[in-house]
Structure 1
Amino acid sequence: MAVKTVWSINHACGHEADRDLSDRAADRRAGFAEWLAKQECTDCWRASKVGDEQDKAAWLKAKRAEEQAESEAWSQQYRMPPLEGTERAVAWGVRCRHQVLSAAYTALVVEGDTSETEWEGIEEAVRSVTRAGWWIDQRSSEPDDLIELLQAATEVDRPTENPHF
């Protein structure tokens, strides 16, 4: 006699469903059916995820608003110029600039050998980079690379990779 392939599952949510387990090895079907009985049915699981996704989206929106307010306050405090780009890019760029510079200050000044006077020079170079996209692109950079990145961004006569264009 063959091991059955369709199992009637009484889920933890109280719903009952027939489940085809033919895609599992015969010796694993009973254990999987037992595990399924401890779970919510597919419909209940999906319904709970919609709520979770809405909660996650609301949390993320609140977190982004908090980060944005903090970044804008920081920008005003340190007299950072407004960034250029689309509305969405500017908002993201302001957050990225704040995060990059906060991490760099900690690494270079607090934990490193850069003096406050040297940092003020770095801040002046930072003020000349106003393209939001540049800050977005640097969001994953290492704090120790900031000076070199700023030098590259502020070079007036950058050589092109292909001199024919």
Structure 2
Amino acid sequence: MAVKTIWQIAHSCGHSAERDLSDRAADRRAGFAGWLAKQECTDCWRASKEDDEQEKAAWLKAKRAEEQAASEAWSQQYRMPPLEGTGRAVAWGVRCRHQVLAAAYTALVLEGETDETEWAEIEETARTLTRAGWWIDQRFSEPDDLTELLHAATTADRPTENPYF
């Protein structure tokens, strides 16, 4: 007698379904059927994943709103000028500028050798960079590199973005 290939699975969610286990070795079918019985059925599993995704999206939206509010408050407190770019880029750029400058202040002033007067000069240079894309591009930079990055961005002898056009 051959080992059966079609198994009736009573899932943990209460649903039942027939499953073709012919793609499994005969000696592994019973064990796999037992494991399947401890799982939700496919429909219930998909529904729970959709709920998880919706919860994750809602959490992320709330987190971004919180970060945005904190970044905008920080920008006002430290008299940072508005950024230029598309709506999404500006919002993202404001968050990136806040994160980059806050990390640099911690590394250079609080933990490093930079004094408040030198930091004020760095901050003043940072105010001149109003393109949101620049701040977005620097989001992964090292805090210790900020002065060099600011210098490179504000030097007058920079080549054009595309010298062929």
TM-score, structure 2 as length reference: 0.92
Distance 1:144 1:4 in 2: 66
Check 1:159–1:99 CA distance in 2 against 1; reply closer, same or farther (3 A cut).
Answer: same
Per the TM alignment, residue 111 of structure 1 is displaced from its structure 2 partner at its CA by 1.3
Where does 1:48-127 land on structure 2 (aligned, <5 Å)?
48-127=48-127
The C-alpha deviation readout for 1:76-97, integer Å capped at 9, x for no partner, is 0000000000011100100111
The C-alpha deviation readout for 1:17-72, integer Å capped at 9, x for no partner, is 11222333333322222111111101011111221111111111111111000000
Distance 2:79 2:104 in 1: 17
> Which structure 1 segments of 5+ residues have no match?
none
| Partner SS state of residue 17, structure 1 | strand
State the percentage of identical aligned residues: 83
| Partner SS state of residue 92, structure 2 | helix
Q: Counterpart in 2 of 1:9?
A: 9
Distance 1:164 1:48 in 2: 53
Check 1:72–1:118 CA distance in 2 against 1; reply closer, same or farther (3 A cut).
Answer: same
Distance 2:58 2:148 in 1: 38
Question: What is the aligned length?
Answer: 165
Distance 2:136 2:164 in 1: 29
Distance 1:44 1:31 in 2: 22
Check 1:9–1:122 CA distance in 2 against 1; reply closer, same or farther (3 A cut).
Answer: same
Check 1:162–1:139 CA distance in 2 against 1; reply closer, same or farther (3 A cut).
Answer: closer
Q: Counterpart in 1 of 2:41?
A: 41
> Which structure 2 segments of 5+ residues have no match?
none
Per the TM alignment, residue 163 of structure 1 is displaced from its structure 2 partner at its CA by 6.1
Check 1:159–1:10 CA distance in 2 against 1; reply closer, same or farther (3 A cut).
Answer: same
Per the TM alignment, residue 162 of structure 1 is displaced from its structure 2 partner at its CA by 8.0
